Amino acid sequence: MKFKLIIASVPDTRTDDIVDAARAEGATGCTVLTNARGQGLKKTKTFLGLDLTGARDVVLIIVEQHLARRILERIGAVGQMDASPGAGVAIQIDVEDAIGLGTQMKTLQSEIEDEI
């Protein structure tokens, strides 16, 4: 089985919606890294050295490759990532090797067999 890693950087107010959308499309779990920071095209404003941008989270999701594009598109739609600057970004990359997915393999195999 081949896997993809989906990485989404989103405002913390949308994290739960992103995770729920990924699960609805077949993701079996995720890791959320909180309090991330980032910059887009324009430098963010500060007030007395304090960053005025909202908190961001990074969501990491390992999925079977056949589900990856559908999950990525759903995350983009739910997060309204193309609607405005700062709404978030999501990418997918190939996973060369992984361990620790043994407990999820049966679920993944049955879902993929249903898809194919």
pLDDT for position 46: 63
Which residue ranges form the domains of the chain, and what is each CATH number?
A: 3-38+51-115 (3.30.70.120)
Distances from the Cα of 101 to the Cα of 1, 3, 41, 90, 91, angstroms: 11, 11, 37, 22, 21
pLDDT for position 51: 58
Q: Give the other-Cβ count within 10 Å of 45's Cβ.
A: 9
Query: Which positions of the chain have pLDDT values less than 50?
Result: none
List, for residues 29-51, the tens digit of each pLDDT value. Answer: 999 999 888 776 666 666 666 65
pLDDT for position 71: 97
Please give the Cα distance from 28 to 46 (Å, whole number).
39
pTM, 2 dp? 0.81
Q: Which residues contact 51 (CB under 8 A, 6 or more apart)?
A: 37, 44
Report, in angstroms and rounded to the nearest whole number, the Rg of the chain calculated over CA atoms: 16
Please give the Cα distance from 96 to 23 (Å, whole number).
23
